[in-house]
């Protein structure tokens, strides 16, 4: 399988930097992400994790640096030289973005089926029957009972809302998914179930993912690569088990030593 070695990266970040006025958000982040790779970004609050995620998903324009993305036709495009509609199209179809707060990623007044179907309509699906059956299929894949398809997410529990948000993102078979603390704010048992679901889906669909989390257990379970951020900079990166079992930087050692042993 020498194709693995020859493969081009899906996403390349080069020297990504963001200043908010004189306040540094993120400085000089560079890395390559390949298809099927799951990368965790860890660090404490204010370390620049979310800024980095917003930069990578083209929601915030970088002060310096660039992001290259390989499109489905194999061509590589610079996210900030492509047109705004093109960027938005990418965001609606080829990418997914899972917010920590499902209310930000869902339309709370629209039925669950409608929430999932809307993404399909954005890629051109028009047949009501097909859209509804695709939505029903995805709801079952994220373990939402079929009889709840016409209810709005307002009537859903937190865990169900998060699973609905995931279904809405995955229905268009994206190649890259961004997740911002996907299990934050959920009960431990609900968290565990959601993690199992994410782990299964990501490996089955071979989706590339960038997961921001402050929870090293989540990083260990979901990711094969990890970046540790502190004060806006990436201070350490590598294979997840390598960085967590043999941390080099003082801050990473502190993070790892702060986990309570199971």
Partner 1 sequence: MVALQLSSVTKTFIMHLQGGVCLPVLHGVSFSVEPGQCVALTGPSGAGKSSILKLIYGNYRCDQGQILVRQGDDVVDMASALPRRILSVRQRSLGYVTQFLRAVPRVSALDTVAEPLVMKAVPREAATERAAAMLRRFNVPERLWSLPPATFSGGEQQRINLARGLLPEHPILLLDEPTASLDANNRAAVIDIIRERKQQGAAIVAIVHDDDVRAAIADINVDVTYFASAA
- Residue 154's alpha-carbon distances to 96, 134, 162, 191, in angstroms, are 22, 22, 12, 20
x/- mask, partner 1, residues 204-223, rule CB under 8 A, reads -----------------x--
> CB-wise, 88 or 248, nearer to partner 1?
248
Tell me the HSE value of 66 on the side-chain side, using a 13 A CA sphere: 9
Half-sphere exposure of 29 (CA within 13 A, CB side): 36
Q: Which of 19, 34, 89, 91 binds partner 1 (CB under 8 A)?
A: 34
Crossing angle of helices 158-170 and 188-205, in 10° steps, is 10
Nearest to 180 by CA among 70, 12, 42, 9: 42
3-class state of residue 172 by DSSP: coil
> From the CB of 192, what's the least distance to partner 1, in Å?
7
Q: Would you call 15 helix, strand, or coil by DSSP?
A: strand
> Candidates 59-67, 83-91, 162-170, 248-256 — which segment interacts with partner 1 by CB under 8 A?
248-256
Binding to partner 1 by residue 5, rule CB under 8 A? yes
Q: Is 188 in the site for partner 1 (CB under 8 A)?
A: no
- Selected from 45, 257, 260, 261, the binder of partner 1 by CB under 8 A is 257
Question: Is residue 192 involved in binding partner 1 (CB under 8 A)?
Answer: yes
CB 207 → partner 1: shortest distance, Å? 15
Eight-state DSSP code of residue 109: T
* Among the listed residues 249, 259, 260, 261, the single contact to partner 1 using CB under 8 A: 249
Instruction: Please choose, out of 69-77, 135-143, 166-174, 235-243, the segment that lies near partner 1 by the rule CB under 8 A.
Output: 235-243
Number of residues that bind partner 1 (CB under 8 A): 23
- The DSSP string of 190-217 is HHHHHHHHHHHHHHHHT-EEEEE-S-HH
Nearest distance from C-beta of residue 253 to partner 1, angstroms: 5
Q: Give the chain's radius of gyration (CA, Å).
A: 18
Q: Which residues contact 115 (CB under 8 A, 6 or more apart)?
A: 106, 107, 153, 164, 168
Q: Report the interface residues with partner 1, using CB under 8 A.
A: 1, 4-5, 34, 37, 192, 196, 199, 221, 224-225, 238-239, 241-242, 245-246, 248-250, 253-254, 257
């Amino acid at each position: 399988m020498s194709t693995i070695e020859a493969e081009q990266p899906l996403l390349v970040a080069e020297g990504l930097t963001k200043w908010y006025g004189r306040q540094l958000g993120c400085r000089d982040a560079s890395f390559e992400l390949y298809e099927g790779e799951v990368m965790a970004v860890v660090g404490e609050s204010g370390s620049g994790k979310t800024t980095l995620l917003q930069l990578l998903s083209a929601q915030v324009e970088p002060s310096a640096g660039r992001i290259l993305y390989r499109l489905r036709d194999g061509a590589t495009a610079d996210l900030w030289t492509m047109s705004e509609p093109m960027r938005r199209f990418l965001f609606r179809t080829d990418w997914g973005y899972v917010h920590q707060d499902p209310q930000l990623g869902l339309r709370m007044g629209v039925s669950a089926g409608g929430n999932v179907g809307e993404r399909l309509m954005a890629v051109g699906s028009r047949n009501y029957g097909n859209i509804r059956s695709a939505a029903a299929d995805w709801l079952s894949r994220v373990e939402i009972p079929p009889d709840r398809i016409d209810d709005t997410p307002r009537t859903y529990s937190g865990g169900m809302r998060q699973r609905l948000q995931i279904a809405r993102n995955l229905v268009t078979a994206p190649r890259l998914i961004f997740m911002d603390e996907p299990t934050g704010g959920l009960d431990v048992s609900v968290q565990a179930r959601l993690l199992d679901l994410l782990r299964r889906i990501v490996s089955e669909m071979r989706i590339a993912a960038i997961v921001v989390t402050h929870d090293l257990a989540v990083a260990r379970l979901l990711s094969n690569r990890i970046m540790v951020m502190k004060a806006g900079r990436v201070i350490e990166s590598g294979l997840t088990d390598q960085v967590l079992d043999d941390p080099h930087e003082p801050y990473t050692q502190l993070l790892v030593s702060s986990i309570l042993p199971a």
